[in-house]
């Protein structure tokens, strides 16, 4: 691969930083276009819980001061940009005075685990099935069964989750209905806890896999059709190389590059797609946290979760851009 030119790396870093800054600015700006006051929402919750609150006007003024809502917009923006450098998103209005960073830190490992399992399985299975749809040595039964299985891609993840819950939890009772791990299991790096996490996470991951693998299969199918007619594929067949070797070495390897880019871009969309899945399974991830924050109009949490999702997606694209030459030696980092 060789050394990455400094100018190329600098250009990619600048692009990464600009993407994050623009996204962070939009995340800060959009909630402020809403007439809703977070301090009034908190006071409303206090009033609903206690019936009446003495000194409500003073409490409202204190909350507005605590959240910096009385500062000029430029001052609020400057403080916001300074704080996100340290991943400080303020305090949650729904879980006051819990910091938003604490809520995200508790939810992020569950989302990353569920996301990595589901997207890796979907990526591998989808691309493999897409390649087999085009490969001339694929049995005819497989070529009929694979497109038929892709009918599940038209089902929203929440409906697939409900269907899987009804079949495997309510009827067969093979998997638990909700939760990220058993209530009687002590969290820790033990086999009982890991087994419980995998057992509880199987259905949420499966509900995502069955509705998204068709995206990769269709994309890979189109790319494989193009690669199948290339001269190097024809030459490999003329050499008498084994069909499976040609499939992997000459066809899949050359067709997979656009899919890897889509893999990085899909991270943000997948987390957004997990929102309802995590909610119906009561899975303690970022999706459930974002869903609850939207219901509670908890703007600091919405901002924090949205920023983390964008940050993860931008970093994934940045890393993929740098490691492309490892995947395909024909690609070189240009200095310009």
Q: Tell me the two tokens of residue 246.
A: 């040609």
Residue 269 lies in a domain: yes
Residue 72 has a pLDDT of 76
Residue 141 lies in a domain: yes
Residue 58 has a pLDDT of 65
Residue 318 lies in a domain: no
Domain count, the chain: 1
Show the low-confidence residues of the chain (pLDDT under 70).
1-3, 34-71, 188-189, 265, 267-274, 325-336
Residue 336 has a pLDDT of 44
Residue 37 has a pLDDT of 62
Residue 273 has a pLDDT of 61
Residue 239 has a pLDDT of 84
Residue 238 structural domain? 105-309
DSSP string covering 224-273:
HHHHHTSHHHHHHHHTT--HHHIIIIIIIHHHSHHHHHHHHHHHHHHHHH
Opening angle at CA 202, ends 199 and 204, nearest 5: 125
DSSP string covering 55-120:
THHHHHHHHHHHTTTTS-HHHHHHHHHHHHTTT---B-SSSTTSBHHHHHHHHHHHHHHHHHHHHH
Residue 262 lies in a domain: yes
Residue 335 has a pLDDT of 47
What are the tens digits of pLDDT across the range 95-125? Answer: 777 888 888 888 888 877 777 778 778 888 8
Residue 213 lies in a domain: yes
Q: Are 63 and 39 in contact (CB under 8 A)?
A: yes
Residue 182 lies in a domain: yes
User: In angstroms, rounded to a whole number, what is the distance separating the alpha carbons of residues 45 and 41?
Assistant: 6
Q: For position 278, which CATH number holds?
A: 1.10.3720.10
Q: What's this model's pTM, rounded to 2 decimal places?
A: 0.74
Question: How long a stretch of residues is the chain?
Answer: 336
Residue 281 lies in a domain: yes
Residue 214 lies in a domain: yes
Q: How many other β-carbons are positioned within 10 Å of the β-carbon of residue 162?
A: 17
Bond preceding residue 97 cis, omega within 30 of 0: yes
């Amino acid at each position: 691969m060789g050394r990455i030119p400094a100018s190329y790396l600098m250009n990619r870093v600048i692009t990464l930083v600009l993407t994050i800054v623009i996204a962070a600015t939009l995340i800060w700006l959009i909630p402020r276009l809403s007439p809703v006051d977070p301090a009034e929402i908190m006071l409303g919750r206090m009033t609903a819980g206690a019936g009446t609150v003495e000194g409500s006007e003073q409490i409202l003024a204190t909350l507005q001061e605590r959240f910096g809502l009385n500062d000029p917009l430029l001052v609020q923006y400057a403080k916001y940009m300074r704080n996100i450098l340290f991943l400080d998103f303020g305090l949650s209005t729904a879980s006051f005075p819990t910091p938003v960073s604490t809520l995200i830190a508790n939810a992020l490992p569950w989302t990353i685990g569920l996301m990595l399992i589901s997207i890796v399985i979907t990526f591998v299975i989808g691309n493999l099935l897409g390649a087999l749809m085009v490969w001339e040595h694929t049995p005819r039964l497989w070529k009929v069964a694979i497109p038929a299985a892709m009918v599940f891609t038209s089902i929203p993840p929440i409906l697939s989750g409900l269907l899987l819950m009804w079949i495997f939890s309510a009827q067969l009772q093979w998997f638990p209905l909700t939760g990220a791990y058993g209530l009687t299991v002590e969290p820790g790096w033990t086999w009982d806890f890991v087994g419980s996490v995998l057992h509880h996470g199987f259905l949420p991951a499966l509900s995502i896999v069955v509705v998204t693998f068709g995206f990769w299969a269709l994309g890979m199918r189109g790319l494989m059709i193009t690669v199948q007619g290339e001269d190097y594929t024809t030459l490999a067949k003329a050499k008498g190389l084994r069909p499976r070797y040609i499939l992997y070495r000459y066809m899949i390897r050359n067709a997979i590059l656009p899919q890897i880019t889509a893999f990085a871009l899909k991270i943000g969309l997948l987390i957004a797609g997990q929102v309802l899945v995590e909610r119906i399974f009561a899975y303690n991830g970022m999706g459930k946290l974002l869903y609850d924050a939207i219901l509670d109009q908890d703007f600091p949490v919405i901002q924090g979760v949205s920023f983390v999702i964008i940050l993860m997606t931008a970093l994934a694209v940045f890393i993929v851009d740098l490691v492309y030459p490892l995947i395909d030696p024909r690609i070189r980092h240009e200095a310009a």
